[in-house]
Structure 1
């Protein structure tokens, strides 16, 4: 939901303004789908579909352009979010609000390096406290961070997102695989930063900022406002490429290095033991006071799931420089014996593997003390094929099947394994500006006409399916070749199915 002027007030705006070399189609997200001006119409669209919740992000630099209170508050920014929240509630739609969606105020990036410095924690607290004061009387669901793994990986390991640290050059081992929200298009090679140390520092400070925000909310706001607060993490599921112990261990390590990196500390008070072992002294330590702060710092866990990869054990050759991926002793692929792991989506990293969400949810329940889970993103994209007419592009049977199959496995995790899932958000309600991929792919259940100058919204087949699904309990046939070994008819209606849209 990003429609503010590109005035370089956050690092994402500065990054997007560079266009060529950073974004697959050279575009920028300064207007995107212009929900800033069209939010009232969009809320009516949500109501027509039958949605009862909407997830959006508050841009730090939209309300605090100078990054901190002493630099002044943007009252227009506060008014926009107040108007949006009020309009949602009038229509019976619950706002779920993310506080950090990767846009560090550019002034803080330049002053002390953003999340490379512990100074970010104090400034982040000023921002979130302002949000709790201004919106907390109506917002009952807060998400501190969206996908800290993506922010860390793309910004400090693979040089995809700002501040463009790490390296876009091939890894020294194995075949590099594209990751969530990255683009397969060629970009300039970057060698800034230190991918063997910086990612772990940034992740550490993200966790501390999250925990400090939760602590503030619980001590000063939660009792009077009656809300919940948590964090959203993204994770793939990983399967062993080969049926041997080495690859099984590689798959387990991959889950720990992606999901466990950010979830284990807030559940147990420290990083996964395998990370302590392999990263050794490069992995920062939590002080006793910090451990007390971070442990239990969540009321719910938000989980974003899109796809699954294979993992295989790959020892590092002598002389390999330390890096996040080398530390894992694993490499990843989407093929086994020449066969893809699942049907292909639009993005180069997107393969459709519905049972991965089931395995991921069961793993979280067993490993992380049976938390309350909100699935905060789940969806699939198609290529933005400009040769198609609007009518042709609105037929998205692949997306309908994607959601049917993933809902089946979520229901299975709830019924068979007792996983505590209480919310589900689609990514995404509308086609959007998709980070490094720009406008080259479409994730929405509503088609956005980016060419007509009016950004007209049109329902796709999936929007109609969701409207019907939410209106009545629907029986989905789980076909043997598609979902399970038996041809069962399964009621996959979920008490509160939700849909969300991020920035645009």
Structure 2
């Protein structure tokens, strides 16, 4: 089983202490970008612990060339990032935004010039707000066609250089946390009659969007571009409490055929290993080996890309940057893995 690990690292300039004010203004309003559901949620009072919002970030939009230099300097040869469709279709649909296309073209070319492989996620939880307002986002089947349309344009525009595509990052998390528990964007709480059916329809739409994206790429681009397309999943085991399968929406035979085999690789996001009675998150480097062994032996040794991995560490807002950069614990963790 071939296994490739991607690691994403970002550094800020040295300072006596890390504070939100040390980071420059983000790019929420740059490049004719449209609002997203994450913008809306993080601007609600009290949603962020220090009453900030997502408008202030690490300014990757403006500093991507510096970031790419840092990636190269620390010896990384692969970079995973997501493309925000709100920069491409600012109103969710319609004519593509040339400024958004130009930005991602420049980012892609800059990475390739440094010899860095590209792994691009098509949806990482930042749905354009216009689609959420127009028809309820992922709760509505219209999202399937709009997702495939955006994906088609991105692969037509960038597929000559991008050879690894990921349709969704952790769809389980944004579906449950965003459209049920309300702790992620769009912050929906659907504790009401029919809740279960809405959850299942949402999952149904995500699966159809993934399958449609896979087959669209296979039909229009795969032969010429020679790329691969998969999905990045967080994995837990749940034993059903009762026989709820009867409530599942029915896939047509055509839809089932579309879903079957609709990926070239599986992205695995692995952070911890749990005992049956333990909680979130424990540092268990040998868990990665056991997880990979289980996938190899149980699922026929499929191609696997480790799209996320990390070590849990205590959050200390008073930590000095020079102490954080002397990260012996994390070095040991990756050596043990």
Fold match by TM threshold 0.5 = yes
2:332 counterpart residue number = 401
- Give the superposition deviation at 1:357: 2.1
2:47 counterpart residue number = 22
- Residue 297 of structure 1, aligned match among 262, 265, 283: 262
2:38 counterpart residue number = 12
Q: Return the TM-score normalized by structure 2.
A: 0.85
- Give the superposition deviation at 1:376: 0.3
Q: Return the TM-score normalized by structure 1.
A: 0.58
C-alpha spacing 1:25/1:351, structure 2 compared with 1 (3 Å): farther
- Residue 63 of structure 1, aligned match among 88, 91, 94: 88
Secondary structure at 1:163's aligned position in 2?
coil
Secondary structure at 1:309's aligned position in 2?
coil
Inter-partner Cα distance in structure 1 for 2:275 and 2:254: 38
Inter-partner Cα distance in structure 2 for 1:49 and 1:394: 13
1:135 counterpart residue number = 158
1:369 counterpart residue number = 300
Inter-partner Cα distance in structure 2 for 1:193 and 1:351: 37
Inter-partner Cα distance in structure 2 for 1:81 and 1:295: 31
- Residue 46 of structure 1, aligned match among 59, 62, 71: 71
Aligned CA RMSD, in angstroms, stands at 2.3
1:262 counterpart residue number = none
Inter-partner Cα distance in structure 1 for 2:300 and 2:216: 24
- Give the superposition deviation at 1:300: 0.4
- Give the superposition deviation at 1:164: 2.0
Per-residue CA deviation, residues 390-447 of structure 1 (Å, 9 max, x unaligned), is: 22232222212222222xxxxxxxxxxxxxxxxxxxxxxxxxxxxxxxxxxxxxxxxx
Q: Which one has the largest radius of gyration?
A: 1
Inter-partner Cα distance in structure 2 for 1:192 and 1:73: 38
Write out aligned runs for 1:25-424 (5 A): 25-68=50-93, 70=94, 72-166=95-189, 191=191, 195-236=195-236, 253=238, 278-311=243-276, 333-334=277-278, 349-406=280-337
RCO comparison, higher one (Cα < 8 Å, 6+): 2
Inter-partner Cα distance in structure 1 for 2:163 and 2:79: 12
- Give the superposition deviation at 1:210: 0.6
Inter-partner Cα distance in structure 1 for 2:76 and 2:110: 14
Unaligned stretches of 5+ residues in structure 1: 168-190, 237-251, 255-273, 312-332, 336-348, 407-504
Inter-partner Cα distance in structure 2 for 1:78 and 1:159: 32
Per-residue CA deviation, residues 58-80 of structure 1 (Å, 9 max, x unaligned), is: 00111111111x2x221111111
- Give the superposition deviation at 1:384: 4.1
C-alpha spacing 1:147/1:219, structure 2 compared with 1 (3 Å): same
Query: How many positions carry a matched residue from both structures?
Result: 311
Per-residue CA deviation, residues 229-249 of structure 1 (Å, 9 max, x unaligned), is: 11111124xxxxxxxxxxxxx
The answer to whether the 8 A contact 1:165-1:192 is kept is no
Inter-partner Cα distance in structure 2 for 1:76 and 1:227: 25
C-alpha spacing 1:64/1:127, structure 2 compared with 1 (3 Å): same
2:13 counterpart residue number = none
